[in-house]
Chains A and B, each alone.
Chain A
Amino acid sequence: MSELTLTVMRLGFLAVLWLFVIVAVQVIRSDLFGTRVTQRGSRREAARPQQAARQQAAPPQQRAQQGGGGRRGRNAPTKLVVSEGTLTGTTVALQGQTITLGRAHDSTIVLDDDYASSRHARIYPDRDGQWIVEDLGSTNGTYLDRSRLTTPTPIPLGAPIRIGKTVIELRK
């Protein structure tokens, strides 16, 4: 085998090895920056036809309820943000689903907090699209601003909801 061929192969191999590393890093990069936003958008797009089909099939009275829900104003919150506590920075998009908070593993937001009960509270939209927080009989209570919740209460935009050391709020 000629010296030249071997040199070319040697350098070629190193180039291929590094190319692999670079490709792998690119995959990580897209994992870090790409997925969240595009994914959330694309999944919603994908979900739409199904939702539409389901709406077609829904009985009339349900559709009336939807009409009520569709009238939400411009001040409707679009996401729930954890602003204090170990989960700081976590956001959950509000898409009409009930959000459960607690230490139980199947909660939407699993609180890692000694002061939280396993099923501590839930946040859900009422018929008018107003988001409501309800304490689920927790030991240490759920606080909206400074007051402890006793009944399901509508959440004003940006008002802090405190559970143990965790503070969450709804944002646009």
Chain B
Amino acid sequence: MSSTSNTPTHHTSTIGAIGAPSRRNTELALLIFAVAIPVFAYANVGLALNDAVPAGLLGYGLGLGLLAGIAHLVVRKFAPYADPLLLPLATLLNGLGLVAIWRLDQSRLLQSIGVAGGKATNQLIYTAMGIGLFVAVLFFLKDHRTLQRYTYISMAASLVLLLLPLVPGLGADVYGAKIWISVGSFTIQPGEFAKIVLAIFFAGYLMVKRDALALASRRFMGLYLPRGRDLGPILVVWAISILILVFETDLGTSLLFFGMFVIMLYVATERTSWIVFGLLMSAAGAVGVASFEPHIQVRVQAWLDPMHEYVLSRTPGVTGVHSDQLQQALWAFGSGGTLGTGWGQGHSELIRFAANSDFILATFGEELGLAGIMAILLVYGLIVERGVRTALAARDPFGKLLAIGLSGAFALQVFVVAGGVMGLIPLTGMTMPFLAYGGSSVIANWALIGILIRISDTARRPAPTPAANPDAEMTQVVRPS
């Protein structure tokens, strides 16, 4: 090594400590694996339901493979040092979602109530649009720090997105939750996009304000208590999330929005007290709103006693909204047991409405069993882990906060949906990222993965060769030795 040092060419040598190999080939291998698993599942569904390999196998397999291949080539070209796991993990989930949606499409019961039939093709189109947005993110967003410039525009945009469902004539009330807007024949869930835009705003805002929020505090009972005036931002965000809860009657969006802010606040300031405050405030808000909002009360009732709801929904003469969905989902999980009934052999279509969107996890629970659900949750966990890892590796505070915010929002969404379907928390109207049927969700989550890949590319890229500094040369000449 000593022979290479001290030469005038030393500026060309790079620092070995930071940076990793690009690992694009690892990604390709995993991607092939991730496409092969859904193809296997697809064949399995066909064999179980119709005793024949489904005719669409080649189409769906090639479609998914082609999309994954395009995404891989774009990553290879525009983000060569990106994390090798994010893309295959997302592809696997998307592919498994396609299979489950196709499997539910085959159910006559669901077809008769208009929930299923041809949905898998739609989902494949949404996936293509999602990959399109993913490609666009990588192509146009050459450096994630440019997003920092749009901090306050993002704030305005996210408020607009969150408020859109309340606009009369545009918002659509789908079974009590007003989180949809309908444009022509399409319905869009703006909250899915709002979570990305909000993460950009929070990251830009907290990067500037975190010192004030972290330093000025008193210590009390092992907790750092922030000053009263520093509570301002968290109170504002809390108030907005409560307003969402009251007017859109959607616990999921509200929780996601507030939870993401608390996570990012905690990461930015390293103060545990924010988490304590956040939990107390969200609990108080949720309980307070639930005491007067009937839609939330129905959801809480269904959560506390799903069997009672089931009985009420079957009792003639009982008025009011009573849904047997949750009880059916719990039975689906139960009948799946440890190893599941096998693809295509469950009866999760009994969930009826939203069986292929909000409740799709129940299909996996029934047909793949606890073992399958654990694997799927682990895949989600790995995506979040890679996001957090990206945040750790990122060298700029904005990138760190953005990566944490996005992966935190992703994790919260998985928790809120899985918790709701499994009866851990009251059910909300959010969808399982990548698995569930729904255009907004798939498209927004591919954009989210795109941004994470961009940040991870910047973070893992070997440090650039320092530019030759003319001052340095002069100093060396002038300096008396």
Contacts and interface: CB of A to CB of B under 8 A. Distances in A.
A108 B19 CA distance: 12
Contact of B20 (A31, A69, A79, A125): A31
A24 B30 contact: yes
A28 B17 contact: no
B466 interface: yes
A55 interface: yes
A68 B7 CA distance: 10
A31 B7 CA distance: 33
A97 B9 CA distance: 9
Given A96-B10, A112-B397, A6 B48 contact: yes
Contact of B379 (A21, A51, A129): A21
Contacts of B21: 35, 39
B65 to A, nearest CB: 16
Given A18-B371, A21-B375, A51 B17 contact: no
Interface stretch (B258-266, B421-429, B443-451, B472-480): B472-480
Contacts of A18: 371, 375
B368 interface: yes
Contacts of B77: none
Contact of B339 (A10, A90, A91, A134): A10
B33 interface: yes
Nearest to B381: A21
B1 A14 contact: no
Given A24-B88, A28-B382, A55-B7, A70 B371 contact: no
A66 B6 contact: yes
A27 interface: yes
A17 B481 CA distance: 65
Nearest to A132: B479
Interface string A126-169: 11010000100000000000000000100000000000000000
A7 B48 CA distance: 10
Contact of B13 (A5, A28, A97, A106): A97
Contacts of B6: 65-66, 68-69, 96, 125-127, 129
B385 interface: yes
Contacts of B14: 43, 97
Contact of A97 (B11, B44, B372, B385): B11
Nearest to B41: A13
B395 A127 contact: no
A126 B5 contact: no
Say which size band chain A's interface belongs to: 35 or more
B4 interface: yes
* Secondary structure dominating the interface of A: helix
A96 B6 CA distance: 6
Contacts of A97: 10-11, 13-15, 466
B466 A108 contact: yes
B378 interface: yes
A95 B26 contact: no
Contacts of B341: 10
B47 A9 contact: yes
Contact of B4 (A35, A96, A100): A96
Contact of A13 (B40, B85, B475): B40
B97 interface: no
Contacts of A28: 85, 382, 385-386, 389
Given A20-B33, A90-B17, A129 B26 contact: no
Interface string B143-157: 001000000000000
Nearest to B472: A98
Interface string A64-107: 01101110100010110000000000111111111110000110
A65 B16 contact: no
Interface in B364-382: 368-369, 371-372, 375-376, 378-379, 382
A39 B5 contact: no
14 contacts: A10-B341, A17-B37, A17-B368, A20-B30, A24-B85, A40-B17, A44-B16, A69-B6, A72-B2, A90-B17, A93-B16, A95-B13, A105-B395, A127-B476
Interface of A: 1, 5-7, 9-14, 16-18, 20-21, 23-25, 27-28, 31, 35-36, 39-40, 43-44, 47-48, 51, 54-55, 58, 62, 65-66, 68-70, 72, 76, 78-79, 90-100, 105-106, 108, 110, 112, 114, 122, 124-127, 129, 134, 152
Interface of B: 1-11, 13-21, 23, 26, 30, 33-34, 37, 40-41, 44, 47-48, 51, 84-85, 88-89, 92, 145, 211, 339-343, 345, 368-369, 371-372, 375-376, 378-379, 382, 385-386, 389, 395-397, 463-464, 466, 469, 472, 475-476, 479, 481
The 6 closest A-B pairs by CB, nearest first: A96-B5, A69-B6, A40-B16, A10-B342, A96-B10, A35-B20
